[in-house]
A and B are shown apart, each in its own frame.
Chain A
Amino acid sequence: MATAQTKVRPKPFLFPQLCKACGRCIDACPKHCIEFATEIDPQSGLTPIVVHEDVCNGCGLCFDACPEPYGLMPRTADFEGVDMVVSDPYTTFGARTHGAPQAEDIPDRPVPLPAVEPMVLKGNYAAAVGAMLAGCRHFFGYPITPSTEGAELMAKVLPEMHGVFVQAVSEVATVNMMYGCGGAGLRCMTFTSSPGFSLMLEGISYMVGAEVPGVFVNVMRGGPGLGNIGPEQADISLMCRGLGHGNTHAIVLAPSTPQEMLDLTMEAFALAFRYRNPVVIAGDGYLGQVSGRVTLPTHLVQPGIPAWAVYGDAMHRGNLITSIYIVEADLELHNEKLNRKFADMEAAEQRSACLECDDAEWLVIATNTPGRMAGGAVQQLRAEGVKAGLFRPITLWPFPVDALVPLLERARGIVVVEAGPGQLEDELRLALSKRGTMPPPIHAVRRHGGVLPSLAEIVERVRGLTEVSHG
């Protein structure tokens, strides 16, 4: 029998790492011999196709269907035994080069401030003044009660100071303007309140990812939803645990007086640039509106320019702001870097204030305006002979657990006072639990919906506890 010399058509060949799993070849194959694998390829993170060669007749239609430049192709002898590894251009070609000069940090400069008489300022104005003294000349915001006075003061003053004030079309626009301005290495901020802060979270996550500083003053109001414009502390979980998607954290500073609104806003800029990260000032609706005596600092800040800034001059030409890391291993490294930064913040930036804590048997824990109520309650309790003390967290994240733990030895009970559903208590419990400290019994005074806990309520709660423990 004469054997017809049929040309053997090459079967398909594929480096599974280079398959993007689009499935086009599956549709193209008339013999239905291509399907998705059941396992994820460890190099690509995708599920590549597999070809059942026993059924394949080598028609070649799948080669044409595959859009990948190095995807399905005819098998040749060259491929035998080759072990392909996907590598990103960085590994193959080294770091991106640019002929730009090496940028250097231009440091901030303190400028002495002439002594002035103390002033009486609303909390929101005090924060705006603090921002200006910290060298912030860029404000982006969208009006929302009870935070708007801060923006309105900036609107009046910044244009006179060669600054920029923009009323953005929404909070989404606001946070992205901040992303841009912060990325240029400039000091920028916003004032907002709870519903507006919710809208900013996506952008904040990008800022954390791209390591862009910016200061967000969130004058918390009653929620959820539109709620009302009264003071509440129900965004604490959002600010401490939920700053958008992904692995995010930001230092959360909680002032309780107009003076602290000023001081902490100034400090927020320093922290934002030290760590290249957003910083949140958590105020409350009452604190934003209430007036108080405010003393100005001795120095204001003339801001420098960080080396990483996309500043728009020759020296910074090589810089890039991005939160995108396509290769998984690179993103893991980036997250590990962020984690080290978060750990540094947790170690170095805890802040708190104490009132009568040294020998306190009953520790009241409260912050913002409820912290002031609690301070009054502690003084009244002391006058009655109750050994009460106030521990007031000034950073909500990181929670000031280092200063708290030594106080717990003597404490017979803790009373967490909140204008909210217990989110401060959650932060407290999480911090203690992470540290393996067993706290004394934790009690609560909580009001909701824009209602503040009253001094009398706090006194009564603590007094009740002392009576139970005596009886």
Chain B
Amino acid sequence: MSQTSCSLFGCGVDDDDRSWSMDDYAGGLARWCPGCGDHAILAAVERLLEAEQLPPERTVFVSGIGCASRFPHYLKTYGFHGIHGRALPIATGVKLRRPDLHVFVVMGDGDCTSIGAGHWIHAVRYNVSMVALMLDNGIYGLTKNQTSPTTPQHYASNTQPKGSFLMPLNPLSATLGVSNASFVAQTADWIPAHLYATIQAAYRHRGFSFVRILQRCPQYTSDMFEEAVRNPKMIEMLVHPDGVETPELDKIYTQKRVHDPRDLDTGRHLAEPADKIRLGIFFRDESRERYEELRAQRVHTAQEKIARLNEEFDKYAV
């Protein structure tokens, strides 16, 4: 965290002795459908904010447009309900100017991987420190049931009534394939302990943390994750002391695989579609270059700034 820019903008100082309770974070009544996975994700995020004692005025939630993107409305932190597909560039703008803020991005699958796909790839490459949560229900929820890039092949929607033609886009492989990826994880809304541990790991990572959260949409895709929810054998937990560990779930989720998050090749291999859904951290590397640091500049004095401007203007003097 940059002390200079923090004092420059007169924001809270690090020896902050205030303490925060859940009430300081939880905003209005969430208006998602009953049983929507977004409720569970909101609860996990609120828990994280309290556990990490993030000052609400130094925490920003940026979103795109969609059901998932209603997130900032339900929190008492700063919120920025942006443009469909453009949450990541908006968040990049916030973070570059205010590196002292804790920036979270919440996107839907359509938001992130369809209209926002270009921004997504470049945000991964920029590796600006923020937590990007992609709430993946495999469908367009807000616009009422159209195919998204992550909709499973042959799965019917209003725009592909005979089923989706294409093989779905794999957001994990795609992110892991982008140069300078630094944190890639997957979790699910129906396993709260794992959801929480994963979001926490993402928050604690220095760099761009991409988390795909499998999210149930009982309204339009009630059957999409049904089997995985009912049968824990379909889930394989990626575990490692440096990854996500949830011993309390060991009795239910017995399928485990040790995966060192530093191992990119294996992470890529594990991200490929398999007969099991893999949850955990696929890759993490804090040594990747972060754009905000590459671009960071010493703060110049007023005199220095004037001198620099004069030097530039002199070039155009006649």
A155:B143 contact, CB within 8 angstroms: no
- Most chain B C-beta atoms within 10 Å of own C-beta, residue among A144, A171, A225: A144
Which residues of chain A come closer than 8 Å to B117, judged between CB atoms?
169
Q: Is B162 located at the chain interface by the 8 A CB criterion? A: yes
A-facing residues in B159-210 (Cβ within 8 Å): 159-162
B62: shortest Cβ distance to chain A, in Å? Answer: 14
B160:A155 contact, CB within 8 angstroms: yes
A82: shortest Cβ distance to chain B, in Å? Answer: 33
Q: How far is A169 from B84 in the complex, measured between Cα atoms in Å?
A: 12
Q: Is A256 located at the chain interface by the 8 A CB criterion? A: no
A143:B160 contact, CB within 8 angstroms: no
Q: How far is A151 from B158 in the complex, measured between Cα atoms in Å?
A: 9
- Interface residues as binary, B88-117 with A (CB distance below 8 Å gives 1, 0 otherwise): 000000000000000000000000001101
Closest to A139 in B: B159
Q: Is B149 located at the chain interface by the 8 A CB criterion? A: yes
A156:B161 contact, CB within 8 angstroms: yes
Q: Is B221 located at the chain interface by the 8 A CB criterion? A: no
Closest to B82 in A: A226
B-facing residues in A263-309 (Cβ within 8 Å): none
Closest to A157 in B: B161
A-facing residues in B24-41 (Cβ within 8 Å): none
Which residues of chain A come closer than 8 Å to B143, judged between CB atoms?
143-145, 148
- Interface residues as binary, B117-159 with A (CB distance below 8 Å gives 1, 0 otherwise): 1000000000000000000000010111011010000000011
A152:B162 contact, CB within 8 angstroms: no
B161:A155 contact, CB within 8 angstroms: yes
Q: Is A195 located at the chain interface by the 8 A CB criterion? A: yes
Q: Is A170 located at the chain interface by the 8 A CB criterion? A: yes
Q: Is A397 located at the chain interface by the 8 A CB criterion? A: no
Q: How far is A226 from B144 in the complex, measured between Cα atoms in Å?
A: 17
- Interface residues as binary, A137-152 with B (CB distance below 8 Å gives 1, 0 otherwise): 0000011110010011
Which residues of chain A come closer than 8 Å to B72, judged between CB atoms?
none
Q: Is A228 located at the chain interface by the 8 A CB criterion? A: no
A155:B159 contact, CB within 8 angstroms: yes
In the complex, which of the residues A142, A159, A169, A226 contacts B149, with contact meaning CB atoms closer than 8 Å?
A169
A170:B162 contact, CB within 8 angstroms: no
Q: Is A380 located at the chain interface by the 8 A CB criterion? A: no
How many residues belonging to B are interface residues under a CB distance threshold of 8 Å? 20
A169:B65 contact, CB within 8 angstroms: no
A148:B162 contact, CB within 8 angstroms: no
Closest to B164 in A: A167
Which residues of chain A come closer than 8 Å to B146, judged between CB atoms?
143, 148, 152, 167
Which residues of chain B come closer than 8 Å to A148, judged between CB atoms?
143-144, 146, 158
Q: How far is A225 from B84 in the complex, measured between Cα atoms in Å?
A: 10
B161:A170 contact, CB within 8 angstroms: no
Which residues of chain B come closer than 8 Å to A156, judged between CB atoms?
161
A169:B159 contact, CB within 8 angstroms: no
Supposing A152-B158, A155-B158 touch, asked if A170 and B144 sit within 8 A by C-beta, the answer is no
- Interface residues as binary, B197-236 with A (CB distance below 8 Å gives 1, 0 otherwise): 0000000000000000000000000000000000000000
Q: How far is A156 from B149 in the complex, measured between Cα atoms in Å?
A: 19
A170:B159 contact, CB within 8 angstroms: no
A169:B115 contact, CB within 8 angstroms: yes
Which residues of chain A come closer than 8 Å to B147, judged between CB atoms?
167
A233: shortest Cβ distance to chain B, in Å? Answer: 22
B33: shortest Cβ distance to chain A, in Å? Answer: 16
Q: How far is A156 from B160 in the complex, measured between Cα atoms in Å?
A: 8
- Interface residues as binary, B51-71 with A (CB distance below 8 Å gives 1, 0 otherwise): 000000000000001000000
B-facing residues in A113-164 (Cβ within 8 Å): 142-145, 148, 151-152, 155-156, 159
Which residues of chain A come closer than 8 Å to B85, judged between CB atoms?
170
Which residues of chain A come closer than 8 Å to B115, judged between CB atoms?
142, 169-171
- Most chain B C-beta atoms within 10 Å of own C-beta, residue among A142, A143, A156: A143
A159:B162 contact, CB within 8 angstroms: yes
Which residues of chain B come closer than 8 Å to A226, judged between CB atoms?
65, 81, 83-84
Q: How far is A144 from B114 in the complex, measured between Cα atoms in Å?
A: 14
- Most chain A C-beta atoms within 10 Å of own C-beta, residue among B81, B85, B117: B85
Closest to B81 in A: A226
A152:B159 contact, CB within 8 angstroms: yes
A143:B84 contact, CB within 8 angstroms: no
In the complex, which of the residues B81, B149, B159 contacts A143, with contact meaning CB atoms closer than 8 Å?
B159
A288: shortest Cβ distance to chain B, in Å? Answer: 14
Closest to A167 in B: B159
Which residues of chain B come closer than 8 Å to A165, judged between CB atoms?
159
A187: shortest Cβ distance to chain B, in Å? Answer: 20
Closest to A156 in B: B161
Which residues of chain B come closer than 8 Å to A145, judged between CB atoms?
142-144
Other A-B pairs, 7, CB within 8 Å; known A143-B146, A155-B160: A142-B115, A143-B140, A145-B144, A148-B143, A148-B146, A155-B158, A167-B146
7 examples of A-B residue contacts, CB within 8 angstroms:
A143-B140, A143-B143, A143-B159, A148-B158, A152-B158, A169-B115, A195-B83
Interface residues of B (CB under 8 A from A): 65, 81, 83-85, 114-115, 117, 140, 142-144, 146-147, 149, 158-162
